[in-house]
Amino acid sequence: MMTELMEIITYPAPVLKAPAESVKKVTNELQTLIDRMAATMYAAPGIGLAANQVGVAKRVMTYDLCPGTEDQELSVLINPEIVSGAGEFVYEEACLSVLDYSADVTRMQRICVRGLDRNGTPVEIEAEDLLAVCLQHEIDHLNGILFIDHISSLKRALYKKRLRKILKTQPSN
């Protein structure tokens, strides 16, 4: 049976601005959510997806830096938290929830993240460079923060103006 894809919610939808809630218990329902999120992420395609991007305000994220390659391997984090970080790293980010835009964002170059894997087992991840960017970007999502919240207010205003035009020319659904 094909896993049913989920609709990716895009800015400026309010669910993207609200902090997601901690997962209390790893249930079968949560496994289904994770499978659907993974399928949605790979189909997009994207390297990371937070549950609130598909309208579920829970602290769950999927990621894979090598989608569609022979190195493809799904990773899942539940209730992820950055416990330490250092350095600076600039990367041109984009987001499945931010239509038609990318911009340089400065983040920590290396971080340590703690959370649970999909079985509820505690994990600790030492990440640097692109993986560190991906984890910071997705954990931001779970806190109601988008990468465009990290750019200058002028750049953001210009993007909002352009987005309004894009949305006007799209059929509403």
CA distance 93 to 130: 10
Catalytic residue check, 7: no
Q: State in angstroms the smallest separation of the CB of 24 from Ni ion.
A: 25
Nearer to Ni ion, 95 or 142 (CB): 95
CA atoms in the 13 A half-sphere facing the CB of 142: 24
Q: What is the DSSP letter of 65?
A: S
Q: State in angstroms the smallest separation of the CB of 1 from Ni ion.
A: 28
Q: Which two tokens stand for residue 135?
A: 């984890």
User: Considering 88, 124, 126, 138, which one is annotated as catalytic?
Assistant: 138
Contact present, 129 and 65 (Cβ < 8 Å): no
Q: State in angstroms the smallest separation of the CB of 96 from Ni ion.
A: 6
Nearer to Ni ion, 5 or 70 (CB): 5
> What DSSP line would sit under 157-171, residue for residue?
HHHHHHHHHHHHHSP
Q: State in angstroms the smallest separation of the CB of 98 from Ni ion.
A: 7
Nearer to Ni ion, 95 or 127 (CB): 95
Q: Which two tokens stand for residue 9?
A: 């919610």
Contact residues: Ni ion, CB under 5 A: 95
Nearer to Ni ion, 56 or 95 (CB): 95
CA distance 161 to 153: 12
Beta strands in the chain (DSSP E): 48-50, 60-63, 75-86, 89-95, 98-107, 110-116, 122-128
Q: Which residues are catalytic, by number?
A: 138
